Amino acid sequence: MKIAISAGDPSGDEHGAKIVRALRAKNPDIELFGMGGSHLRAVGVRTIVDSETEASVMGASDVIHALPRLRRAFNRLVESLRVEHPDTLLLVDYQEFNLMLAKAAKKLGIRTVFFIAPTVWAWRPGRAKQFAKYVDHLACIFPFEPKVFQELGYDRATFVGHPFTDTPGLFEYSDEQKEKIRSELGIPPDHKVVALFPGSRKQEVKLLLNELLSGFALAQKQHGKLAAVIPVPSSIAVEEIQRQAAHIPNIYLLPNRSLDALAISDCGLIKSGTSNLQAAMMCVPFTMVYRAGWLMSFVVKRFVGVNNYSIVNIIREGSVKELVTPDAVTPKNLAEEILQLLTDTKKIGEIRTALKEVKEKLSGVGSGVPVAERVCELVGQES
């Protein structure tokens, strides 16, 4: 068997490597080639295109500058598909690029499996028609996606589970581990901890950080014994966060340690995105915050087809509260949310119950079969 794989970003490279290990466990002699990085090379994939140097992009402006090398990478992959004609092409995320590659593979008579569905169900539902034309099977990571795609006219989508559920112990911290992190940071033992997640992009941080800090400071005046932890992604300068938080006591920064921040937190104010799923996996009560302008809010509600900004609310309606407009994301409102998340036992219990349901839904059919193996089965079916 010969399988081609296309993974263009770091997370796809990691996901792809897990699937390759599952494929090799079933067929040690399988031949694999395509686009990927160090993770895929480590499991024996022959990389025609090195994603880390030839395909990795950050942001829309970088995409424009990267177009020539992306075009070269695409052409090289299409030529390799034409020459080697694999049994199946496995496409991992990297949505725009990989959908074009699926179209090229279809012309060559090569079957395709696409892992991690693009969010066409939200932003571009018309693109489901392209999947019907070019993608033989879609492996979805959210439980609601197969039904949505079916309603859009594509009936070859299967929910395989979310990769977050695939690593045993990833979201489990012992009391000793939590105490060690708190001690390392110097957080007083009698303080409650609030996780503040302003996002990973500079514009997000610019819009949210000051509001989050001001809301926390206001809650701190009313509660007293409060500390806040802020995970700082590599895309944001730690010094910038330190400068803005310098006037508020008991603020602790954890560079590139979002799970550690959640592990020691009693509640959180968290920007929409993957961190919402992380909080759900760790059952940390939180309120989602996102400063969308009035135009953005209107567009989402009128044209996009979803009424929620947080993925946990899309998976399980009403799981957490959402504050999404400028007049909602105010220090007063944020302080009230913090205090409720710390003291309202009824609300805390309801949120924890909802987040447990989200976690269960993400795990798939509950068979204990890892996500990578489920995708591997789909690849085998299409070969």
Q: pLDDT of 37-85, one tens digit each?
A: 999 999 999 999 998 887 766 544 455 666 788 899 999 999 999 999 9
Q: Give the pLDDT confidence score for residue 295 in this predicted structure.
A: 46
Same domain membership, residue 283 and residue 198: yes
**Mean of the per-residue pLDDT values for the chain?**
87
CA distance 227 to 232: 16
Burial class (CB within 10 angstroms; exposed 0-12, middle 13-18, buried 19+) of 303: exposed
pLDDT tens figures, 140-175 = 999 888 988 888 888 899 999 888 887 778 899 999
pLDDT tens figures, 237-270 = 899 899 999 999 999 999 989 999 999 999 999 9
Residue 113: inside a domain: yes
Q: What is the DSSP string of 145-213?
A: HHHHHHHTT---EEE---GGGGSTTTT---HHHHHHHHHHHT--TT-EEEEEE--SSHHHHHHHHHHHH
Domain that holds residue 312: 175-362
Same domain membership, residue 215 and residue 343: yes
Same domain membership, residue 113 and residue 62: yes
Per-residue pLDDT at 31 exceeds 50: yes
Distances (CA, A) of 46 to 49, 55, 183, 222, 286: 9, 16, 45, 59, 43
Residue 168: inside a domain: no
Same domain membership, residue 200 and residue 82: no
Same domain membership, residue 371 and residue 358: no
Q: Give the pLDDT confidence score for residue 164 in this predicted structure.
A: 87
Same domain membership, residue 258 and residue 218: yes
Same domain membership, residue 316 and residue 263: yes
Q: Give the pLDDT confidence score for residue 202 in this predicted structure.
A: 79
Same domain membership, residue 50 and residue 144: yes
Which CATH number goes with the domain that contains 62? 3.40.50.2000
pTM: 0.83
> Considering its fold, how many domains does the chain have in total?
2
**Cβ partners under 8 Å of residue 276, min gap 6:** 270, 286, 288, 310, 311, 312, 320
Same domain membership, residue 137 and residue 108: yes
Share of the chain above pLDDT 70, in %: 89
pLDDT tens figures, 322-351 = 998 888 999 999 999 999 999 999 999 999
Same domain membership, residue 205 and residue 103: no
Same domain membership, residue 335 and residue 215: yes
Q: Give the pLDDT confidence score for residue 339 in this predicted structure.
A: 97
Look at residues 379, 381, 376 and name the one whose alpha carbon lies nearest to residue 166.
376
Residue 366 tokens read as 């509950």
Same domain membership, residue 250 and residue 358: yes
